Amino acid sequence: MEKFEYFLKGREFILITDHIALKALNGKGKIKSARIIRWTESIQQFNFKVEYKPGEYIPHVDGLSRLVKVENVNLISEGITNETKEKIIQMHEDIVHRVPK
């Protein structure tokens, strides 16, 4: 959620995940790990509900969690035409700067 903090903070949203253990974030049960307690405290700034879906139903999640910075596009653009590179950069900008309603 850190990568999308700008879009998520102050908004209610549903966190759809294939990690069923995250459903425990709803406050039921006791968490014993200090690391998990700190992590849970850090995400409490967000207003969200957790919804579990098996990974086969949400195949796009890995791409969202691995967004690259536009500056890094140059590192992977060998063999790509300038026109295609510009289209990729424009699509990336459109996605990153789109503010959800």
- Whether 63 is covered by a domain: the verdict is no
Both tokens assigned to 88: 């990729």
List of residues 6+ apart from 77 with CB closer than 8 A? 85, 88
Same domain, 53 and 72: no
Same domain, 81 and 48: no
Note down the domain range covering 95.
68-101
- Whether 34 is covered by a domain: the verdict is yes
| Distance, CA of 55 to chain centre | 15
Same domain, 49 and 86: no
Task: Domain count for the chain, please give it.
Answer: 2
- Whether 87 is covered by a domain: the verdict is yes
Instruction: Please report, for the chain, how many H helices and E strands are present, in that order.
Output: 4, 2
Same domain, 37 and 18: yes
Hunting for tokens 């503010």 — which residue is that?
99
Same domain, 42 and 82: no
List, for residues 21-79, the tens digit of each pLDDT value: 777 666 556 777 888 888 888 888 889 888 888 777 666 665 556 555 655 555 555 66
Same domain, 10 and 54: yes
Using alpha carbons, list the distances in angstroms from residue 91 to 54, 84, 88: 28, 11, 5
pTM (2 decimals)?
0.49
List, for residues 55-68, the tens digit of each pLDDT value: 776 666 655 565 55
Let me know: does 20 contact 55? Beta carbons within 8 Å.
no
